[in-house]
Amino acid sequence: MDDEDLVRDVHRMSLTNLGYDVICAHEGKEAVIRLREVDSKVKAIVSSGYFHDPIMAHFKEYSFCGVVSKPYSLRMLSETVHAVIAGDTA
């Protein structure tokens, strides 16, 4: 989910190239609806450039399984996704 089309498209292409199935959304409410349709126990990662956002600092309290701060590299994104899927998050 990202509100910027270009950012969303780049992330979709990057994750697809890494072998992941990707569903994109423009805003948070749409993303939650799509996630719940796919899997009610979905493992979601939050990402933001706002470092002082309480969701970023306490992501597990908001039901996210991982966090990656913007700006991030494809490697950082890939490692975070892999860790969440493997259950290796702190």
DSSP letter, residue 42? -
d(CA 38, CA 44) in angstroms, rounded, equals 12
Q: Write down the domain spans for the chain.
A: 1-40, 43-90
Q: Residue 72 corresponds to which amino acid?
A: Y
d(CA 76, CA 52) in angstroms, rounded, equals 20
Task: Provide Rg for the chain, Cα atoms.
Answer: 12
d(CA 56, CA 23) in angstroms, rounded, equals 22
Per-position pLDDT tens, the chain of length 90:
888 899 889 989 999 999 988 888 887 777 777 787 888 888 888 888 887 888 888 888 877 888 998 888 989 999 999 999 998 765
Q: What is the pTM of this model?
A: 0.76
d(CA 2, CA 30) in angstroms, rounded, equals 11
CB–CB of 46/28 below 8 Å? no
